[in-house]
Amino acid sequence: MFTAALVQRDLTGTSSVLPLDLFEAIKTLKQELNAVILAHYYQDPDIQDIADYIGDSLGLSRQAASTDADVIVFAGVHFMAETAKILNPDKQVLLPDLAAGCSLADTCPPEAFAAFKAAHPNHLVISYVNCSAAIKAMSDIICTSANAVEIVRQIPEDKPIIFAPDRNLGRYVMAQTGRNLVLWQGACIVHETFSEKKIVQLKIAYPEAEVIAHPECEPSVLRHASYVGSTTALLKYCQQSSASAFIVATEPGIIHQMQKQASHKRFIPAPPVNSCACNECPYMRLNTLEKLFWAMKNRTPEITLPKELRSSALKPIQRMLEMSAV
Ligand code: 13P
Ligand code: SF4
C-alpha cells in the first residue's frame, strides 16, 4: 500500500493526521473529477500502475486528442502536458510538478530559433514534440520519435527542411530517409549519457543480448543497436524478438512495462558514462504518486496557455496527427 499523510483540521482548529491509501484515494478522485491519468513510460512504476493509459509521446498525444474526460492528469513532462492542453483548451490539464521540464526542449529558446529560421528562408520546419509551445508555433509540422521518419518521407524531395531541436533524432532521420536536413544542435542529457564502452562490455558479457536504443542516443550508441525506435516501438520489439535478453539504451522507466509484458526475458539498463543514475530522467522523476494525489485533490498545478499561442501551436500538431498512420 502506498501511503501519504493527510492533515485535517476540525472547526476548533485542532489538526489530525490521517494515513491515506494513495491508490484508493487517487481512484476516488478520478471518479469525482471525471479525470483520466495519462502517463509516459519514463514515470515511476507506481505511477504507471495507476495510469489509465501509458504510452510514448505520440500515443499520449492521440489519447489527449480523443479523451472525453473533463480533467487530464498528465504524468509526464511539461511539453507533453502542454501538448494535451493545446489539443484540449476547454479541459483542465494538471501536471503533478510544474518543474518537470525537459533538457532537450530547453536547448531551443524561441528567440534564437526565430533567428535560425530567418537565416534559412523557404525551409519547412519540422519540430520534434520535445519543444515548447513557442517553438511549435514557429513550426509547420510536429513529429515524435515514432513518426519522424514517416513524416519526412512525405515531404517533396526538393523542399528544404529544418529539423529541430534534437540533432541525434535528426541525424537518425537523415540516415533513414537519405534526406539532407538542417539540424538545430539540441540534445537530451539522458540519452547523451550512455557509454559506448560500457555497452560493448555488456555485449561481451551477455552475448545473447540485443542492444535496443531510442533515436535520441548518440550515433556511437545507435550503431551497436539491433533495433532503434520510440519507447512504444522498443516495447513491441522486445515482445516480438526471439532474443532472451536486451540491453536497453533509453530511460529505464520503460523496463517496468518490458518486464510485465515479457517476464521470462532479461532487461539490462544501458549504463551511463559516470557511476550515477544519470540514465534516469531527472525531470520525469520529479512526479511522484503523492504529488499526483495532491494535484488532483487541489486541482493544481494547472497548465495554462495564451489563446493565440495555443492556436498557432495547434496547427502543426494537427498536421502531425493527420500525417501519421494510426
Ligand atoms: P517517446 O517519443 O518515445 O515517447 O520519447 C519521448 C522522450 O522524451 C524521449 O526522451
Ligand atoms: Fe526530455 Fe530527455 Fe527527459 Fe525525454 S528523457 S523528457 S528528452 S530530458
Closest residue by Cα to residue 271 from 312, 221, 228, 316? 221
For the CA atoms of 106, 111, 114, 116, the dihedral, rounded to the nearest 10 degrees, stands at -70
CATH 3.40.50.150 fits 5-100+284-305, yes or no: no
Q: Give 105's DSSP letter.
A: H
Average pLDDT over residues 131-135: 98
Q: How far apart are CA 11 and CA 8, in angstroms?
A: 10
Predicted pLDDT of residue 310: 98
Q: Which of 132, 214, 228 to mutate to test the pocket of ligand 1 (most atoms within 8 A of CB)?
A: 214
Phi, psi of 92 (to 5 degrees): -85, 130
What are 14-29's pLDDT values in tens digits? 776 666 899 999 999 9
pLDDT above 90 (res 325): no
**Most distant pair of Cα atoms in the chain: their distance:** 75
User: Is the minimum distance from the CB of 56 to ligand 1 under 6 angstroms?
Assistant: yes
Contact, 301 vs 105, CB < 8 A?
A: no
**Which one of 58, 74, 97, 190 would you pick to mutate in the ligand 2 pocket, going by the greatest count of ligand atoms within 8 A of its CB?**
190
| CA distance linking residue 142 with residue 176, whole number of Å | 18
Task: Answer for the pair 87, 317: CB distance below 8 angstroms, yes or no.
Answer: yes
DSSP 300: -
Whether the CB of 103 sits within 6 Å of ligand 2: yes
pLDDT at 290: 96
Establish whether residue 188 lines the binding site of ligand 1, counting it when its CB lies within 6 angstroms of any ligand atom: yes
Confidence label for 8 from pLDDT (cuts 50, 70 and 90): low
Predicted local distance difference test score (pLDDT) of residue 7:
67
Q: Give the residue-averaged pLDDT of 240-257.
A: 98
- Compute the distance between CA of residue 36 and CA of residue 54 in angstroms, rounded to an integer: 11
Chain segment 304-313, per-residue pLDDT in tens: 999 999 999 9
Confidence class for position 92, pLDDT limits 50, 70, 90: very high
Predicted pLDDT of residue 326 = 61
Contact 320, 50 (CB under 8 A): no
Average confidence (pLDDT) over 174-202? 97
104-189: CATH number: 3.40.50.10800
Please give the radius of gyration of the chain, using alpha carbons only, rounded to the nearest integer: 21
Question: Which CATH architecture is the domain 196-269 placed in?
Answer: 3-Layer(aba) Sandwich (3.40)
Predicted TM-score (pTM) of the model is: 0.94
Among the listed residues 140, 76, 68, 132, the one whose alpha carbon sits nearest the alpha carbon of residue 106: 132
Judge if the beta carbon of residue 284 lies within 6 A of ligand 2.
yes
Mutate to test the pocket of ligand 2, among 42, 57, 58, 104 (most ligand atoms within 8 A of CB): 104
DSSP letter, residue 252: G
- The pLDDT tens digits for 215-235 are 999 999 999 999 999 999 999
Q: What percent of the chain is predicted at pLDDT more than 70?
A: 95
- Region 266-275: mean pLDDT is 93
Query: 35: CA distance to ligand 1 center in Å?
Result: 24
Q: What's the CA gap between 42 and 114, in Å, rounded?
A: 31
Residue 6 confidence class, pLDDT cut points 50, 70, 90: low
- Where in the chain are all domains bearing CATH 3.40.50.10800? 5-100+284-305, 104-189, 196-269
Name the closest ligand to CA 38: 1
Report the pLDDT averaged over residues 72-98.
98
pLDDT above 90 as % of the chain: 91
- Asked if residues 230 and 40 have their Cβ atoms less than 8 Å apart, the reply is no
Residue 14: what pLDDT?
75
